[in-house]
C-alpha cells in the first residue's frame, strides 16, 4: 500500500519550522502538502486569494485550481491561521525567493523535494477517488462526468 511518506515528512518538517519560529517556511510546506499547487504559484499567492479555507488561485494555464468535482481546494484551519500570522500588515505571504525556501528545507530533510509533494497529493486523491468508485461499482465516477441530454 502507498504510504504517503513525503506528506508525513513534510508535516514533520512544518512542525519543526513552527517550533523554530519560521512561520513563512512552515506555511509554504503546509500549502504544498495540502494542495496540488506548484511551488512557483504558491510563492505568488496572496492572502486575498484565500477565502475562508478555499484557495482561489489560477494555475499555469489560467484555470483556477479545483478538484475533480470542480470545487476549489481547501486548507485546514490551522494552516489558514498560520498564513494569517505571516506578514500581518501585508497581503503577500511569501517574501523570499524560491531558492531560500528549498535550501532551508534541504538543510533539515535532504531527501524531501518540495516539488514531489504535488505529485503525491494528486496520486493520493486520485487513488482515493478510484477506490471509492470501485466500492460503489461506478464505472464513470472517475474522470469526466457523464453527459446527459
Taking only the tens place, the pLDDT of each residue in 19-78 is 999 999 999 999 988 888 888 888 888 888 888 888 877 655 556 667 767 777 888 999
Grid cell digits, residue 54: 478555499
**How many other CB atoms are there within 10 angstroms of residue 6's CB atom?**
22
Of the CA atoms within 13 Å of residue 54, those in its CB half-sphere come to 10
pLDDT in tens, 84-135: 999 888 888 999 999 988 888 888 888 887 877 777 777 777 777 677 666 6
Grid cell digits, residue 26: 512552515
At residue 1, the pLDDT reads 37
Grid cell digits, residue 14: 512544518
Model confidence, pTM:
0.75
pLDDT in tens, 1-29: 345 678 788 888 999 999 999 999 999 99
> What does residue 51 show for φ and ψ, rounded to 5 degrees?
-105, 110
Round to whole Å and give the CA distance between 138 and 130: 9
Amino acid at each position: 500500500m502507498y504510504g504517503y511518506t513525503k506528506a508525513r515528512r513534510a508535516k514533520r518538517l512544518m512542525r519543526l519550522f513552527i517550533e523554530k519560529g519560521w512561520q513563512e517556511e512552515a506555511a509554504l510546506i503546509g500549502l504544498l502538502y495540502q494542495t496540488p499547487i506548484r511551488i512557483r504559484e504558491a510563492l505568488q499567492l496572496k492572502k486575498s486569494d484565500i477565502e475562508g479555507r478555499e484557495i482561489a488561485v489560477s494555475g499555469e494555464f489560467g484555470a483556477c485550481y479545483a478538484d475533480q468535482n470542480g470545487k476549489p481546494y481547501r486548507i485546514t484551519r490551522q494552516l489558514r491561521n498560520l498564513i494569517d500570522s505571516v506578514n500581518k500588515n501585508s497581503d503577500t505571504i511569501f517574501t523570499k525567493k524560491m531558492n531560500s525556501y528549498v535550501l532551508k528545507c534541504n538543510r533539515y530533510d535532504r531527501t524531501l523535494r518540495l516539488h514531489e509533494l504535488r505529485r503525491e497529493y494528486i496520486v493520493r486523491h486520485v487513488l482515493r477517488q478510484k477506490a471509492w468508485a470501485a466500492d460503489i461499482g461506478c464505472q464513470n465516477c472517475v474522470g469526466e462526468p457523464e453527459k446527459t441530454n
